[in-house]
């Protein structure tokens, strides 16, 4: 009962935060709403017994990445957002159709597939409590998913090199 109330609170925080990101006129408030949404998401991970993912969600997304967003908003000192006129007339229609399509896909998934309970797989709840969530994530990450993991490293490295190149071009 308490768990369910907590779920609805966290879900409400996440959804309301996400809606507020697009709805609020002040960009700084949008950033803060996104932080709130990420914290709600971290809470949901916690309730799923994934402590490590929850804490990393807070450290990486809510802590580091959103701080960069905040920096950008503060440094370029955005005022209230200006509404640009839409370029193409069908943009609105196309956006609506794509959005509804994705939503329908999600609903379809929810209705057709059996809900994932976490009872199956390598690390069910009992085993997870035994080995700890850090060990569980680490084990899968460097055995089963080692290739995507390494590819991600290359991707981040390319990103860093790109940032350095762009910054150097600016100063020359």
Partner 1 sequence: MADLAVMLVKVVAAFGALLLIAAYMTWAERRVLALVQVRVGPNRVGPAGLLQPIADGIKLMFKETVIPAQADKLVFVLAPLVSLVPAMAAIAVVPFGSSVTLFGRQVDLVVADVNVGVLYIFALGGIGVYGVVLGAWASNSKYPLLGGLRSAAQLISYELSLGMSLLGVVLITGSLSLKDIVAAQAGYPFILLQPLGFLLFLVCMLAETNRAPFDLPEAESELTGGFHTEYSSMHFAMYFLAEYCSMITLSAVAATFFLGGWRGPFLPPVVWFLIKVFAFMFFFMWVRATTPRLRYDQLMGFGWKVLLPLAILNVVATAGVLALLG
Contact residues for partner 1, defined by CB under 8 A: 28, 32, 35, 51-52, 55-56, 58-59, 62-64, 67, 70-71, 74-75, 132-134
**For partner 1, the closer CB: 11 or 66:** 66
To partner 1, the closest distance from the beta carbon of 2 in angstroms equals 12
Q: How far apart are CA 45 and CA 48, in angstroms?
A: 5
To partner 1, the closest distance from the beta carbon of 24 in angstroms equals 12
To partner 1, the closest distance from the beta carbon of 30 in angstroms equals 13
Indicate left, alpha or beta for 80 from its phi (over 0: left) and psi (-120 to 50: alpha): beta
Q: How far apart are CA 54 and CA 43, in angstroms?
A: 7
Contacts 24+ apart (CB under 8 A), 158-167: none
Among candidates 19, 2, 13, 72, which has minimal Cα distance to 38?
13
To partner 1, the closest distance from the beta carbon of 78 in angstroms equals 11
**For partner 1, the closer CB: 99 or 130:** 130
**For partner 1, the closer CB: 75 or 113:** 75
């Amino acid at each position: 009962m308490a768990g369910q109330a907590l779920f609805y609170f966290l879900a409400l925080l996440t959804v309301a935060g996400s809606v507020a990101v697009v709805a609020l006129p002040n960009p700084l408030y949008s950033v803060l709403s996104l932080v709130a949404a990420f914290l709600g998401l971290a809470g949901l991970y916690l309730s799923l017994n994934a402590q490590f993912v929850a804490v990393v969600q807070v450290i990486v997304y809510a802590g580091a990445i959103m701080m960069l967003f905040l920096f950008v908003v503060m440094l370029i000192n955005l005022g209230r957002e200006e509404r640009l006129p839409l370029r193409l007339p069908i943009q609105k229609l196309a956006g609506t159709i794509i959005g509804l399509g994705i939503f329908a896909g999600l609903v379809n998934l929810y209705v057709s597939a059996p809900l994932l309970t976490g009872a199956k797989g390598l690390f069910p709840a009992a085993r997870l409590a035994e080995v700890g969530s850090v060990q569980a994530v680490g084990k899968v990450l460097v055995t089963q998913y080692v290739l995507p993991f390494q590819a991600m490293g290359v991707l981040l490295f390319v990103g860093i090199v790109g940032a350095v190149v762009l910054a150097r071009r600016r100063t020359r």
